[in-house]
Amino acid sequence: MYLEVKDVKKSYGKDSSFIQVLKGVSTGVERGQMCVIQGTSGSGKSTLLNCIGGLDLMDSGSVKVEGQEIFGLKPAALSDYRRANLGFVFQFYNLVPNLTVRENIQVCEHISENPLNMEELLETLGLTEHQNKFPAQLSGGQQQRCAIARALIKNPKLLLCDEPTGALDSATSRDILVLLEQINEKYGTTMLIVTHNNSIKNMVHKVIYIKDGRITKDYLNEKRIPAAELEDL
């Protein structure tokens, strides 16, 4: 198992403001799988993603990526783990406004020991003709493509996507999902995608549902539908 999550618990606050968000979550994802994590707001899906990504510290439990235990790592070691293994894509693109598309991607290229080829990546994501534009000159879909390129240039083993289509219209959402599907097939990148959208589960290999901090469903998708054919996005 490439990603192993065992009995992860996470809470916030104390006394009257104490809330346990994750109540013993266990699951796993094989290398090269696309996996969707679904649940209502407050269910714990983004918190789980952040614990896997080392952005939130777990109260207890275990997260292993390719055999490496994340729980208990010091801040410097967590930073090394994120740099070596992970790419992050969020709902809001977090691009640097005074850097061009190419320069935004180079920010992550410079911290990678084994980056992907810049020109190939720009071509794959349809950004070649936009590489010298600034974020304000791009559509929402183009900005998300740039954010994906910035995450991918590191050649990450695991891509964590938190609502990657949440700020996009239906047609643009489909384009982004087709792109993620192509990336998974081309580079073999393992992906975790947190989403409210019920249709996205139909394109992935594995589906996880979280409710009130617990996993209620965890299954493999036997009848995947290509992203280009998804409805109700």
Of the candidates 154, 158, 138, the one whose C-alpha atom is nearest the C-alpha of residue 105 is 154
pLDDT at position 169 is 86
What is the rounded distance in angstroms from the CA atom of residue 38 to the CA atom of residue 195? Answer: 6
**100: in domain:** no
**139: in domain:** no
Instruction: Find the helix or strand (DSSP H, E) in which 10 lies.
Output: strand 3-12
Question: What is the pTM (predicted TM-score) of this model?
Answer: 0.91
Cα 25 to the chain's mean position, in Å? 18
pLDDT at position 120 is 92
What are phi and psi for residue 123, nearest 5 degrees?
Answer: -65, -45
**31: in domain:** yes
**171: in domain:** yes
CATH number at residue 27: 3.40.50.300
Grouped pLDDT means (10 residues each) for the chain, 233 residues: 96 92 97 96 93 95 95 92 90 90 94 90 93 96 93 93 88 90 92 93 96 96 93 80
Dump the DSSP string for 187-218: H--EEEEEES-TTGGGGSSEEEEEETTEEEEE
Neighbours of 136 (CB within 10 A): 9
**175: in domain:** yes
**102: in domain:** no
Query: Which domain, by its residues, includes 222?
Result: 3-87+154-229
Q: DSSP 3-state assignment of 230?
A: coil
**55: in domain:** yes
If one counts the domains in the chain, the total is: 1
What is the rounded distance in angstroms from the CA atom of residue 198 to the CA atom of residue 150? Answer: 27
Identify the burial level of 84 via C-beta atoms within 10 angstroms of its C-beta, where 0-12 means exposed, 13-18 middle and 19 or more buried: middle
**Strand stretches in 138-196, DSSP E:** 158-162, 190-195
**122: in domain:** no
pLDDT at position 103 is 97
pLDDT at position 225 is 95
